Structures are given as structure tokens and as C-alpha cells.
Amino acid sequence: MPWPCLRQARLGLRAVKEAIRMRLALVVHPSRRVTTPLETLERWARTHDIGIVQIPTDGGSTRELAKRGELQEGDLVITLGGDGTVLSGLRAAAPVGVPVLGVACGSLGALTATHADRLEQALERFRSGDWSAHRLPALAIHPSESSDAWAVNDLVIVRRGAGQVVLNLYVDGELYVRLAGDGLIIATPLGSSAYSMAAGGPLLAPGTAGVVCTPLAMHGGNAPPLIVPAGAEMRVEIHPSFVGFDAQIDGHTSPMQDLEYRISLEPGKVTLVAFGDDQHMLAGLRQRGLIADSPRVVARDARA
């Protein structure tokens, strides 16, 4: 039975019409080998008479592996690479509201839903309706003068060069800390497992509604990483040294140089394709060695 028929009750007539027009919209890692998954995509698309286009992304790959096209309703974004490529795909997909299927060309990450060698099975599951929409929140970033922005993982205010950056962090108008140091990370629950965790911040378990604010190499004073509830608004005032500072969004330097930002958590900003057997975030962190058991416990198991 065709995919639109199976999904009609859930999607409604308008969404079914969009499903019939579905194309595969590619976002590709700039250097990883993607020949085999690309051949799988092309073969599967020919079998089901589905078009393939490669869509533009901010700071994305210059590799041209399919004809260029603009994203449209009814498309499925396919990212070939790792978590960084998925982030690029999510940023491209958000304005149109289409889902993103992350394909790991290497180790399975926190955002990729399938390995490249299981891509055809994943496509068949999507086509048959055997998938769920994993809605992820994002940081809504409101600079004092620049255009609004958003981040799936984190916003980082970081010193430039050898100088320090001084900033004030407020939560719902209440001052938390005035810090001098390398900077500050403000991370979503997903982003809590990225730069923030590497800097000593806490992990937010999947489903936690909150934001993590993690100071970077604070020079004196005391300000532990702060977990802020989802409904709160954070405000950052920046007092840079003569060498300035950088604002980074999801690992990419932004042109924003505003000295004040208001940040809040926006629920359901982007959509990932997820399957029922997807690995959970905590298990994934353990598998990749980012969470490791105490050596004493490992030695005890080895003796047993």
C-alpha cells in the first residue's frame, strides 16, 4: 500500500498531497566519503520515482553531488555526515518546517538516526510511516541591534585573542554573576552534551525543559553552571576588552557584535526523524566514550 494511504489518517489531506510531492533534499559533509550512501539514495529514489536535490546551507559544503534546488514543503532533508551536518540540515529545514533524517557516515552521533549501511531500510521505514517526529527546542536569541537568531545547540560568548571578556548574566531580571574570563556558554538540553559538557557543565537528561549556562575559565569569583527553567529569559551584557569578543552559534562564528542579548528557549523549533529503536542520548554518550565508568568498577568486572 502506498505511503500516503498508510499515513492519511495521521497527516490529513494537505500533508498527504505534500507527501506525494516528496523529494530528497541533500545536505552533505564537506569532506567525508559519501559515495556508497549517495548511490543508495539515487537507486532508492529511481525505484520510487522521487527526485533528489541538494539544498543550500549557511556555511555548508561546496561539494555538488546532486542538482541544486530550494527546499519546499513535502521534502525530506537527508544529511550525509555527522552531527554537524545534521545541525546544518536542521537550520535549512526550519523555515519550511520539514523533517530531517540524519545519516551517519562514520560513528553514530546524538542527532543521526541511522548508519549509512542501513540507509535503505530507514528510507523504507519513513515511506511506510514507521517513524516519529522528534521535536527539538532551540535558543531564541534577540540581540539589542542585530537581527534575531537561533541555536539548536548553544550560543557562546567567547574572548578573542589573549584578552578577557567581562559579562553580566541575568535570569528574569535578577543578576546571577558578573564574570571575567574566557566567556559563557548558554546551551539547550541537546547542547548540554556538547561544548558545555566539555567545559564542566551538567548534562540535561532527554526531556528536561531547561537551559544550561556554563561560565568558561572564570578568573576568580565563584559561579557554578546554572540550570535555568525553560520559561525564563536570560540577558547577557558584554563588556569586551580592547581585542573584542566573538559570538558563536552552534559552533560557527556569527557576525553579531551586540553588547546585549536576550535569550529564551523556544520549544519544537526543528524536527528530526526518529525510529523506535533509536539509541537514547545517554547510551550514545557511553558508547562513544564521553561517559566512562570508574576504572575500579571496570577492573572489578574484568576480575569477575
- Check if 148 is active-site: no
Secondary structure, 3-state, the chain: CCHHHHHHHHHHHHHHHHHHCCEEEEEECCCCCCHHHHHHHHHHHHHCCCEEEECCCCCCCCCCCCCECCCCCCCEEEEEECHHHHHHHHHHHCCCCCCEEEEECCCCCCCCCEEHHHHHHHHHHHHHCCCEEEEEEEEEEEECCCCCEEECCEEEEEECCCCCEEEEEEECCEEEEEEEECEEEEECCCHHHCHHHHCCCCCCCCCCCEEEEEEECCCCCCCCCEEEECCCCEEEEEEECCCCEEEEECCEEECCCCCEEEEEEEEEEEEEEECCCCCCHHHHHHHCCCCCCCHHHHHHHHHC
Which residue in the list 83, 154, 250, 278 is annotated as catalytic? 83
Answer positive or negative: Cα dihedral of 175, 253, 140, 107. negative
Q: Which cell numbers in the block locate residue 22?
A: 516528496
Is the separation of the CB atoms in 122 and 276 below 8 Å?
no
Provide the residue type at 253 as one letter.
Answer: T
Enumerate the active-site residues.
83
